[in-house]
């Protein structure tokens, strides 16, 4: 699920459905998607499945109030980076001070002015859009960096456990990439990495996402995909990359890949990556330019 800057999503944590509806109308008119959660506990469950671009939270809610919810978010490395607004009827100075001490981006008392809310949402989304690009994406290839990939994969594996649906990963490595750098130089090697990254982004499904985890190693995550289907999809990508031409002399670059599937091969990131890495090693050892599945 590569994050789209053109369609940001706001998680509205509020036990009053009328407020959720009102905020949704205000934001939806500007192309901003909204998702509602009834309290802090519900929101934390949703954050195991999604990564919104902004969280707007009430304070007075059942089960887990807004302050407790915010404290829980601050314990999570990835979640604490999500922009956060308090939107509450508790509008006294000490309430606002307490909210800002919890590292909220802003505190909006109820009742609120729709235009003010929309302006603040747009401003923070613009600012964090650039920050997210720096924090989440690999600077060279523009795919997810390792930290972001693993955060999303962790959420995906939680979904696998909950809904009992398989997901597969493709660990791929460029064949003989050191020779390319040694022969043509690192600038040329960077161009190869960027072109292959673009090919992956252009040819994967909308629900898939890809990250760079090493010099020439990438991981493609394929949600709701059993192993057999994952191998077929990976082999299609291998063929697409093998047809790319990288210079006027007709240079082609190939990849090798290993496929592992949760929960069949493992239910955690470390175990899944280890299985995919073993399959990748066998693909390399058996001649390269091929896809093998974990046994």
Classify residue 188 by burial, with Cβ atoms within 10 Å: 0-12, 13-18, 19+: middle
Q: Read off the pTM.
A: 0.68
For the chain, how many residues are written? 295
Pick the CATH number of 9-134 from 3.40.50.2300, 3.10.290.10, 3.40.50.1110, 3.30.1510.10: 3.40.50.2300
What is the pLDDT, as a whole number, of residue 72?
Answer: 95
Catalytic residue selected from 216, 217, 226, 264 = 216
The CB-side HSE value for 103 (13 A sphere, CA atoms) comes to 13
Task: Give the pLDDT band of residue 5 (cuts 50, 70, 90).
Answer: very low
Structural domain spans, the chain: 9-134, 146-293
Write down the architecture of domain 146-293 according to CATH. 2-Layer Sandwich (3.30)
Reported as a pLDDT band with limits 50, 70 and 90, residue 1 is very low
- Structure confidence at residue 133 (pLDDT): 80
Q: pLDDT confidence of 3, banded at 50, 70, 90? A: very low
Average pLDDT over residues 129-157: 91
Give 58-105 pLDDT, tens digit per residue.
999 999 999 999 999 999 887 888 999 999 999 899 999 999 999 999
Q: pLDDT tens-digit profile of 272-291?
A: 999 999 999 999 999 999 99
* Three-state SS letters, 121-163: HHHHHHHHHHHHHHHHECCCCCCECHHHHHHHHHHHHHHHHHH
Task: Please say if 216 is a catalytic residue.
Answer: yes
User: Looking at residues 145-173, what average pLDDT do you find?
Assistant: 94
- Cis upstream peptide for 199 (omega within 30°): no
């Amino acid at each position: 699920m590569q994050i789209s800057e053109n369609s940001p999503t706001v998680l509205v944590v509020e036990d009053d459905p009328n407020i959720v509806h009102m905020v949704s109308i205000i934001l939806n008119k500007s192309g901003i998607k909204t998702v509602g959660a009834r309290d802090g506990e519900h929101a934390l469950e949703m954050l195991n499945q999604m990564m919104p671009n902004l969280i707007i939270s009430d304070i007075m809610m059942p089960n887990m109030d807004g302050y407790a919810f915010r404290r829980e978010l601050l314990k999570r490395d990835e979640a604490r980076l999500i922009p956060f607004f308090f939107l509450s009827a508790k509008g006294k100075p000490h309430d606002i001070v307490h909210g800002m001490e919890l590292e909220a981006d802003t505190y909006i008392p109820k009742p609120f002015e729709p235009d003010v809310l929309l302006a603040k949402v747009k401003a923070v989304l613009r600012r964090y859009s650039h920050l997210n690009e720096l924090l989440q994406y690999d600077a060279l290839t523009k795919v997810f960096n390792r930290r972001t990939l693993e955060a999303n994969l962790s959420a995906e594996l939680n979904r696998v456990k909950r809904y009992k649906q398989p997901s597969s990963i493709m660990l791929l490595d460029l064949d003989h990439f050191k020779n390319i750098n040694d022969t043509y130089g690192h600038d040329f090697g960077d161009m190869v990495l960027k072109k292959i990254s673009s090919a992956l982004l252009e040819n994967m499904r909308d629900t898939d996402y890809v990250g760079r985890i090493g010099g020439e190693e990438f991981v493609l995550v394929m949600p709701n995909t059993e192993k057999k289907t994952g191998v077929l999809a990976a082999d299609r990508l291998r063929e697409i990359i093998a047809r790319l031409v990288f210079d006027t002399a007709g240079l082609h670059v190939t990849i090798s890949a290993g496929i592992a599937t949760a929960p069949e091969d493992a239910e955690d990131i470390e175990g899944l990556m280890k299985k995919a890495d073993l399959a990748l090693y066998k693909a390399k050892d058996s001649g390269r330019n091929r896809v093998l599945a974990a046994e």
